[in-house]
Amino acid sequence: MVQLVGSLRKELADSISTCKILVVGAGGIGCELLKNLVLTGFKNIEVIDLDTIDVSNLNRQFLFQKKHVGKSKAQVAKESALQFCPSANITAYHDSIMNPDYNVEFFRKFMLVMNALDNRAARNHVNRMCLAADIPLIESGTAGYLGQVTVIKKGMTECYECQPKPAQKTFPGCTIRNTPSEPIHCIVWAKYLFNTKSQQQSPIRCFILQLFGEEDADQEVSPDTADPEAAWNPEETAARATASDKDGDIKRVSTKEWARSTGYDPVKLFNKLFKDDIMYLLTMDKLWKKRKAPTPLDWHQLENSASGLKDQQVLDVWGYCQLFQHSVETLRSQLQEKGEGAELVWDKDDPPAMDFVTAAANLRMHIFSMSMKSRFDVKSMAGNIIPAIATTNAVIAGLIVLEGLKILSGELESCRTIFLNKCPNLRKKLLVPCVLDPPSANCYVCASKPEVTVKLNVHKTMVLTLQDKIVKERFGMVAPDVQIEDGKGTILISSEEGETEANNSKFLSDFGIRNGSRLQADDFLQDYTLLINVLHVEDLERDVEFEVVGEAPDKAPPPQTNQEEVNSITNGNKDSAQPSTSSKAFKEPSNLLNDLNGLQYVWDVQLNQFYVNY
Amino acid sequence: MIEKEDPVISEEEAAQYDRQIRLWGLDAQKRLRGSRVLLAGLGGLGAEVAKNLILAGVKGLTLLDHEQVSEESCRAQFLVPVTAQGQNRAKASLERAQNLNPMVEVHADPDRIEDKPDDFFLQFDAVCLTGCSRDLMIRVDQLCSKHKIKVFCGDVYGYYGYMFCNLGQAHNYVEEKPKVVKPSGESNDGPEAKKAKVDPNETTMVKKTASFCTLKEALEVDWTSEKAKAGLKRTPVDYFLLQVLLKFRTDKGRDPDPQSFPEDSQLLRQIRDDVLESLSLNSDLLSDDFIRPSLRETLLTATSSSSTVVKAMAWWTTLDQTERVRLRRFTGKLQFVLSDYLWQRLFCSFSFFSFFFYSWIHFAPKSDTRTAGCFLVFYIC
């Protein structure tokens, strides 16, 4: 295989052919990576992926063909790789890496772990597993033309979670319900209307249906009367009462109940959402002092004035009215077919579901004086689609292997974080290496005794919120155990199913938790303990349930052009091995990896690029 | 002459190419659909290029290679089945290449590229040459420039690689730039004030032209001229290493081989001396230290590393005109970048498939597509 001359090369070659490596993910990066590993001479490879093959994967995941659509990615990737290297020993797992079967002992089998993931939750998890097992991890990500590779080694480098990552961007309820100003607000509204709670983190999205299924109080779509900006006074109540729709009092009846009561009549639905509710919003005149007021639509008016002209990609308003009607009818029959108590699940690849969101979002955009978007564009935003091509993944996969070879040669100090840019920087470099940073002393994951402080209202925060939103979602635990450091070790949350379910709807204060209380959260699988200091506050920002103290405010990462400049700063010295004098310069580029998996990228066809969803 | 494009993208294409259409737009995808590409050489690098072009959805790709499949071939690339030894390399790669994307017309041609008449090349919109001799590349480059056919050349030597492209004397393209819209007067203060926002409806198309020199010009820079001497400092030494490797290939009919390490390294040193002397340059420009470790450690991994992925750099025409002209004169669009911390004296090889693909997407014989000036670079990271 590798020709041998000189001792170093021989050792490396032996290492390559005998060591066991784990590839997490068999998608865009995974396919290229598997190919590279096999051709480089790696003999013992295990690959894991929970997903199945989709036709949209075929433009870059070249180990898959049309005939494989629907099959397990890991399995087919293994079979295809064996085609060109029959002597390789590949084990494929069609499973989630977060499954407790893959414990620290499992990870310890490997000399090297390589991530080829597309979501933050899994990256957090693998980060912790590799820290617990003390195995080097090569982390990577791509989006469009951009890519990044970095190496994580316990005690030597920053771990994946050393740097605070911008949290998933969410919008305040009143923006969604009352005062949208961007197309994305309207799209989110439309999805809430269908009731979809799309989890960016997990490839298995969990959807809840509002209009057509299960309700979620967090995703109410009707006008928000509690909008502090509106600050309406009681005298206007009468005006509001008449303005409110005839078919249902907004305040008392939920959207779903109302819709059901009308038999999902599209025109009635349309009039409530796009006429009556809007007229109601108009009575909250304080909202419109500095904003352009929305204009309600009238179905019959539109019907009569329909121009009949259709723009190739973006329909006119009447076009979307028809699309709305048609999709509601289709979804209604889908619901009916399913029987009593049925729910529909939103899926960007389900045409009527996509049509519905396209139509509803566009109608709302029009009402709020925004230019409407084509179905193609709406799908990008609603479906959180990240554009992807084969070559970016190929480059990144190559860089992963090169970093891997450094690690196997025992040359960790020569490992780098490498950024793949879209345009060459001032030094004419497209690939920009940066020296790896040492671990952060305050890291809430890899510090010796990780600790955080969380601001919340102990009287208003439920145990369930603590479990799902704080310990799991924010702090990345998968199966947490939480106990109170009250001398008694009172168990608040148990990872054993059902054990502490009774606690879920209770408030933290019910357990004596108050300002200054300390909670110990453990994830046995991740071998991770986190001490949470509770900081009680009466009020937090609107729609914010908790805040982690010491975190940078929710900021969007720098836009494309800044990255360019930053990289040239980083690469200011001729010899890039010298650390940059600007520490800030290092911070910004590494956010790219965070961005790639955490933030919502919006594809803008006209700009021909994606930008962060503000 | 990209074939007249079918304006309608089929549903199958829209579904399969969805993720890339969302990146470079429908227009670029249509241009790809109408283009025919020639790829010479199906070694590790060629296979990567083939994969990327096929996945991208070009109209047709012709795989041209007269070599036979050896034991090494199977380990170098993933298109040739292990059972295909002794067969022609292009033909052996055909089936798997075609399976990557049935919508592309893939052909295999077992002839020697040197035997091809001029008009053979004229049927293509772009030509990619790997593993070719210096003279052949110069000949094809000259021929293609005359007929406005895009040319890309490149090779991988162990951890070392280069890429060159020639998109013509007057390559027109457009860059779409968003217009920044200032907020309207009323809400300039207060919490509702909107920052200057990019209005996605407002973009301007900026017309640009890039000019590329020929391979001959790039390789035959006169280093005795004042301007060239001044530019020498900024010219990576890898440029000269390339000259050495190309001469080795011409003289020996093969690339340096670790199996013949002693004779090859001596020959390389000799060629280095000859080359630098003929260019009237100091022989310590390319020191022994440079070559020996690269031979010892890099060329040794020729087989495996040629399959590792690398990207050549695209030199965007955001460079100002003067810079472009200067570089064009001294090195043409031949550029090498070396950074030495990766593995001390080791060079990383990169296949520039991604670059091929990358730059291909971004240009068109007609104006109005976004493009990047293409350069060859090989990059060590």
For residue range B66-94, what is the model confidence (pLDDT) as tens digits? Answer: 999 998 888 888 999 999 999 999 999 99
Greatest mean pLDDT among A228-232, A403-407, A607-611, B180-184: A403-407
**pLDDT on residue A470:** 94
* Averaged pLDDT, A482-488: 92
Q: Kindly compute the dihedral angle of the four CA atoms of residues A177, A349, A602, A371, in this order, to the nearest 10 degrees.
A: -60
The CATH code for residues B11-168+348-379 is 3.40.50.720
Nearest to B127 by CA among B145, B100, B102, B108: B145
**pLDDT on residue B310:** 29
**pLDDT on residue A601:** 43
**pLDDT on residue B374:** 29
Asked if A575 and B18 come within 8 Å (Cβ–Cβ), the reply is no
Tokens of A135: 């195995």
**Res. A96 pLDDT band, cuts 50 70 90:** very high
Handedness of CA B57, B205, A358, A186 (dihedral sign): positive
pLDDT tens column, A429-482: 889 999 999 999 999 999 999 999 999 999 999 999 999 999 999 999 999 999
> Residue B210 — φ and ψ, nearest 5°?
-120, 145
* Averaged pLDDT, A55-84: 96
The pTM for the full model equals 0.79
How many residues are there in chain B?
381
Q: Return d(Cα B20, Cα A390) in angstroms, integer.
A: 9
Q: Return d(Cα A518, Cα A259) in angstroms, integer.
A: 46
pLDDT tens column, A539-595: 888 778 899 987 655 443 433 333 433 332 332 222 223 233 333 322 333 334 444
Residues 6+ apart with CB under 8 A from A23: A30, A33, A34, A37, A45, A46, A47, A48, A114, A116
pLDDT tens column, B16-71: 999 999 888 888 898 899 999 999 999 999 999 999 999 999 999 999 999 999 98
Q: Return d(Cα A145, Cα A603) in angstroms, integer.
A: 13
Residues 6+ apart with CB under 8 A from B284: none
pLDDT tens column, A12-64: 888 999 999 999 999 999 999 999 999 999 999 999 999 999 999 999 999 99
Q: Which residue has the higher pLDDT, A334 or B179?
A: A334
* Averaged pLDDT, B314-324: 31
pLDDT tens column, A240-277: 544 444 433 444 456 667 777 777 788 888 988 899 98
Inform me whether the C-beta atom of residue B100 falls under 8 Å from chain A C-beta atoms.
Answer: yes
pLDDT tens column, A286-342: 888 888 899 999 888 888 765 433 323 688 899 999 999 999 999 888 888 887 767
Is A377 known to sit in a ligand binding site? no
Is A28 known to sit in a ligand binding site? yes
8 A C-beta contact, residue B265 and residue B291 = yes
Asked if B343 and A1 come within 8 Å (Cβ–Cβ), the reply is no
> ipTM score here?
0.78
Cβ-Cβ contacts under 8 Å, B310 against chain A: 395, 398
Tokens of A315: 């329909």
**pLDDT on residue B4:** 55
**pLDDT on residue A181:** 92
Comparing CB atoms, the residue among A32, A35, A418 nearest residue B381 is A418
Q: How far, rounded to the nearest angstrom, does the alpha carbon of residue B132 sit from its chain's CA centroid?
A: 13
Cβ-Cβ contacts under 8 Å, B313 against chain A: 424, 428-431
Taking all residues of chain A, what is their mean pLDDT, rounded to a whole number? 81
pLDDT tens column, A354-367: 999 999 999 999 99
pLDDT at A201 over 60: no
Task: Provide the shortest C-alpha distance from residue A431 to chain B (in Å).
Answer: 7
Q: Return d(Cα B77, Cα B24) in angstroms, integer.
A: 28
Match 């007067």 to its residue by tokens.
B185
pLDDT at A370 over 90: yes
* Averaged pLDDT, A415-439: 90
**pLDDT on residue A494:** 94
**pLDDT on residue A306:** 56
**pLDDT on residue A305:** 65
Is A73 known to sit in a ligand binding site? yes
Inform me whether the C-beta atom of residue B107 falls under 8 Å from chain A C-beta atoms.
Answer: no
Domains of chain A: 4-165+387-435 (3.40.50.720), 173-233+252-383 (1.10.10.520), 451-549 (3.10.290.20)
The domain ranges of chain B are 11-168+348-379, 171-210, 220-333
